[in-house]
Amino acid sequence: MDELLNGPVRNMAAAVRQGQVTATALTTAFLDRVERVNQDLNAFVCSNAGMALKQAAKADAELKSGATPGPLHGVPMTIKDSLDTLDTITTWGTSGRRETRPGRDATCVARLRSAGAILLGKTNTPEFTLAFRTDNDVYGQTNNPFDTNRTPGGSSGGAAALIAAGATPFDVGTDTGGSIRLPAHFCGITGIKPTTGRIPCTGNALPSAGVLAPLSQPGPMAKQVDDLHLLLPLMSGPDLRDPYSVDASWHDPNGVDIRQLRFGYHTDNGIAKPTGEISATVLDIVRMLRDQQLNISEARPPGLEMAHLIYGKLFVADGSDTLLGMMQDSRTENLSKLLQGSLATEPVMMEAAEFAYTMTMWDNYRSSMLGYFENHDVLICPVNARTAHRHDEQEKMQDYSYTLAYNLTGWPSLVLRAGTDQQGLPIGIQIIARPFREDVCLAVGLWLEALIRQQLGNFPVPAINAFSTASVQNK
């Protein structure tokens, strides 16, 4: 059973379909794993255990009756608490929603349930997802399984911590400035921010309308890239509610010829210099690619250095109106400590001329950045300027420019663990492709994951874990 629980989601689904394990047994096993690690992590914050076991029993009965199973039939999952769930409280991490049951699923959650997945419960997020560490006034602080004195990142920190600890097969995060990719990097798992519009944002805490809406995307988070390969197409496609969702073609990662791709890379984005260990990890990957006779050159996208400035301007453009509106809708009177500095004492609306200039600057940035793909198909770069920091350390917002740059462009970006620093903390890399070419990200991720395993072996599992063996992180 442990080999199955530690393995790919695809194998779990096949085992249920073939009668090798029941959905009830899988659900019970993962609930037991949650129980073993969550006291130390505080990542799993709202249990759906009773309903999950009922749904698992129903899934088992349906198989016995000859029903045609979906691709995730009987496979457990958890969902970030910023995404609405029909049968489970969804707080968005804000005090005004402590007891809120939305009455419907977020679109991406509904699609996974339609595929047969079973909801174990919700994972922690900062208030309204608006922080790079996971803490709120409803459930408190989530800890990193590699070192509980450190953050798992945010805003999908609960999801990443629980996956890294082996207590859930997969989760769905949301990413507005790095909220899938940063926790994946900090916790040593994999995750993908799809292209803007690939997956509808309907049912997410942040509104799917307004100036900031194009920055956000839900996406799967899991133990290995093959899990993302399975999950992403199931979540994709417009829902006729999110105005930014797009009916884009899906390309099969199996059709990508890695040896025909033109790779670019950089170790420094010109905004925040990364640690030497992070730079060295990127260069190790570059060496592996060159050893395989692949076409790779050092090149930074033109205009990248403007990302932090533009992102900062967008988040003050409405004078806190979006945040105030979410507080009002949620009946939240006081923001959590993490967000208190986000709400100006006297909000000042950006002047019309400056707002128009900011929007033009954003469009020009996206246009300039697209020029990168005239000479490259893939970009390899750091996820952040540092590895997971301690809860009490002051963060530098420039460090997050490595992820937020690609929320501004809307490009797909996959994070994969590629190393470990001297403190035993994971180091991830970003694999980035042109819009709606998630297949390239996935194909490179699958290929590179296997190459890293071959050359470096399996990475150490975190100190807080539900694994029964000591070297399963990259199996």
Nearest Cα to 449, choosing from 147, 183, 181, 227? 227
Task: Please state, as a whole number, how many other Cβ atoms lie within 10 Å of the Cβ of residue 395.
Answer: 13
The CA-CA-CA angle for residues 330, 332, 333, to 5°, reads 150
In Å, what is the CA distance from 319 to each residue of 21, 325, 335? 54, 11, 16
| Annotated catalytic residue 155 | yes
Q: How far apart are CA 375 and CA 297, in angstroms?
A: 10
Gyration radius of the chain's alpha carbons: 21
Q: How far apart are CA 10 and CA 21, in angstroms?
A: 13
The secondary structure element, H or E, covering residue 403 is helix 401-409
| Annotated catalytic residue 336 | no
* Residue of 155, 245, 330, 336 marked catalytic: 155
Phi, psi of 395 (to 5 degrees): -90, 155
* Residue of 82, 95, 179, 401 marked catalytic: 179
Nearest Cα to 91, choosing from 42, 46, 156? 46
Mapped onto helix, strand or coil, the DSSP state of residue 187 is helix
Q: How far apart are CA 12 and CA 66, in angstroms?
A: 19
Q: How far apart are CA 416 and CA 188, in angstroms?
A: 8
| Annotated catalytic residue 208 | no
* Residue of 80, 122, 193, 223 marked catalytic: 80
The CA-CA-CA angle for residues 423, 426, 427, to 5°, reads 110
In Å, what is the CA distance from 191 to each residue of 66, 221, 222, 285, 314? 34, 4, 6, 18, 25
Nearest Cα to 395, choosing from 80, 123, 134? 134
Phi, psi of 134 (to 5 degrees): -105, 105
Mapped onto helix, strand or coil, the DSSP state of residue 159 is helix
Q: How far apart are CA 129 and CA 137, in angstroms?
A: 13
Residue appearing with tokens 């909220």: 179
Q: What long-range pairs does 95-104 form, CB within 8 A, spacing at least 24?
A: 95/137, 95/138, 95/332, 95/333, 95/334, 95/336, 96/327, 96/330, 96/331, 96/332, 96/333, 97/138, 97/330, 97/331, 97/332, 98/138, 100/330, 102/203, 104/203
Active site residues: 80, 155, 179
